[in-house]
Amino acid sequence: MPRNPERRAQLADAGLAVLAEQGARGLTHRAVDAAAGLPAGTASNYFRSRDALLGALGERIFERLAPDEAVLAPLAERTPSVDLVIDYVRYIVERLLAKPELPLALFELRLEAARRPGLNEILSRTLQQGFDADVSFHVQAGLPGGAEEVRLLHFAIDGLVFDQLTPGVGRRYDVDAATAHLVRRLVRED
């Protein structure tokens, strides 16, 4: 397997753009090559199967959504509270909505994984690692709540972001206010 991490990232980013714009049906190795401006066959050299390509896209989404340490540092200095959880979750929502192609691609991947056992295994592992990291961060930061609250926040934020990026009841409400309301309903001070 080729080991050029920059080329792999370039291909994954092109794949995410194709997935977000055209859905899973439009995602082919050839479409990724074209979107990346690379010779035909390049994507298949890096990702031998469709499941490998789709799984790599899931991993790349989380790489691109990683938080900025400069934003986290001042938050980490604050006293743990529900208000701090609100600010952390607002930052998550902000990152997701600032790069709409990433959550849209993730929604596409999750739907595709429901039909593809190989992708289901790969994506489930990636999503579980992300969830475990979120719980670990939450607990280590001393924030109120625990794994169950983090799980419920995942469900709520997925729905909020989905509503903002697709036709629905979205865009008629203040996203920051809705985020704060969700956190206050799901996380209680100890």
Q: Give mean pLDDT, residues 68-78.
A: 97
Q: Are 83 and 48 in contact (CB under 8 A)?
A: no
Q: Is 40 a residue whose pLDDT tops 60? A: yes
Buried-state track 141-172, b at ≥16 Cβ within 10 A, e below 16 = eebbbeeebbebbbebbeebbebbbeeeeeee
Q: How far is 125 from 131, CA to CA, in rounded Å?
A: 10
CATH, domain range 5-60: 1.10.10
At 189 the pLDDT is: 82
- Given CA atoms 123, 164, 10, 36 in this order, what sign does their dihedral have? positive
At 171 the pLDDT is: 64
Q: Is 62 a residue whose pLDDT tops 60? A: yes
Quickly list H helices, the chain.
Answer: 5-22, 29-36, 42-46, 50-64, 69-76, 82-98, 101-113, 117-140, 147-165, 175-186
C-alpha 190, offset from chain centre: 29
Question: Residues 87-121: pLDDT tens digits?
Answer: 999 999 999 999 999 999 999 999 999 998 988 99
Average pLDDT of the chain, as a whole number:
93
Which of 9-13, 36-40, 49-53, 133-137 is least confident?
Answer: 49-53
Q: How many Cβ atoms sit within 10 Å of the Cβ of residue 88?
A: 22
Q: Is 123 a residue whose pLDDT tops 60? A: yes
Q: Where are the domains of the chain?
A: 5-60, 63-186
pTM of the shown model:
0.89
Question: Residues 126-172: pLDDT tens digits?
Answer: 999 999 999 999 999 999 999 999 999 999 999 999 999 988 766 67
At 173 the pLDDT is: 82
Any idea of the CA torsion for 15, 21, 26, 28, to the nearest 10 degrees?
-10
At 100 the pLDDT is: 93
Q: Is 73 a residue whose pLDDT tops 70? A: yes
46 by Cβ neighbours in 10 Å (0-12 / 13-18 / 19+) ranks as buried
At 170 the pLDDT is: 61
**Which residues fall within 8 angstroms of residue 128, CB to CB, at 6 or more apart?**
none
Residue carrying the six token digits 């969830």: 131
Cα separations (Å) of 25 from 22, 29, 55, 67, 185?
Answer: 7, 12, 15, 30, 38
At 167 the pLDDT is: 83
Question: Residues 4-35: pLDDT tens digits?
Answer: 999 999 999 999 999 989 998 999 999 999 99
The pLDDT confidence band at residue 190, using thresholds 50, 70 and 90, is low
Closest CA to 44 of 60, 58, 23, 30: 30
